[in-house]
Structure 1
């Protein structure tokens, strides 16, 4: 399966002088889920029809990292696009997407750093338009730099996620427990757009991915019948009628 993040990853790899080796491991990984082959979760990959779209602006080598969760968003949400970020260049495809009249873009970023008039906390229904959530996929320091140095995003309303939810992401360290990973942010956005089933599915998929990833690091086989796997399989059947 090829999606926007996979294609961006392939493009980034083709431009490198030497292969990218994930930190701490040289074990071959499944190209479909980026987990060691013994812990592959490709058969568990869900996909949910959504009205909302996702636009990932990815910092430098972020698409290459096996722990990147933007990949999970592209697995689940069919209308996901991904663009590499550069301080000096802007992908014309990104500008065209942001100007596409079918979309109402929201730049997702903490509102505490901005003037109040630019910040929104709800997704407004706009006739004839679908919500498009623009996510800066990077570490927190990198995301702040991207926000400051991307003037082509300055006209977008900024969606600030107001929540006391703590991140459950365990694959990278953060200095703050309230900094959500990209997949968690996307799930919150989907919920705000009224796409509860898609939000729950993405959340469940992240939990299963995290389990497989950590089990692989510890050389422990995943329990395919645990609560996380059962939840994901139930959600993959579709929303309750």
Structure 2
């Protein structure tokens, strides 16, 4: 399973970006791609619809019972890496994203404390990846990222 972080340009500048942290820790299975409205990356647009899952809620969201079983069917996972406002903008201005099957993570509470104004029930990028790695039983990578996220999250800024 490979994680593609479709990253808003502002995230690259932030010291508290968990997308940057995730790409650093999981460099072998996680790649950041700059989101550009007018010239989307072929690395994302060339992904196969049948084997790519987008972490973003909509009508085609996978049901809770199916999550673990279906995750194994996907080789590529696209995550919109930015604030909730940025992610919504990125999604709405990128019609190619709407072709992918969608997946929403529900019932989890974020532990991220280095940013304000977080969406209730919303997870940061690192938390999303840890959650998916655990569901896919990639426990070594999940533990590595989770440990680094905990350390990173507790840094005083």
Partner of 2:4, secondary structure, is: strand
Counterpart in 2 of 1:81? 31
Q: Which runs of 5+ in 1 are unaligned?
A: 1-51, 218-241
Which residue of 175, 185, 188 corresponds with 2:131?
A: 188
Which residue of structure 2 lines up, in the alignment, with residue 41 of structure 1?
none
| 5+ residue gaps, structure 2 | none
Greater RCO, CA 8 A, separation 6+: 2
1:205 corresponds in structure 2 to 148
In structure 1, the partner of 2:100 is: 156
1:205, CA displacement in angstroms?
0.9
Q: Is the 8 A contact 1:133 1:189 kept in 2?
A: no
Moved over 3 A (4+): none
The Cα shift of 1:210 comes to 2.1
CA distance in 2, matches of 1:153, 1:176: 22
- C-alpha displacement of 1:203: 1.5
Provide the rounded CA distance (Å) in 2 between the counterparts of 1:207 and 1:99.
Answer: 34
Correspondences of 1:69-108 after superposition (within 5 Å): 69-77=18-26, 78-96=28-46, 98-99=47-48, 104-108=51-55
The answer on 1:120 being equivalent to 2:62 is yes
Query: TM-score, normalised on structure 1?
Result: 0.57
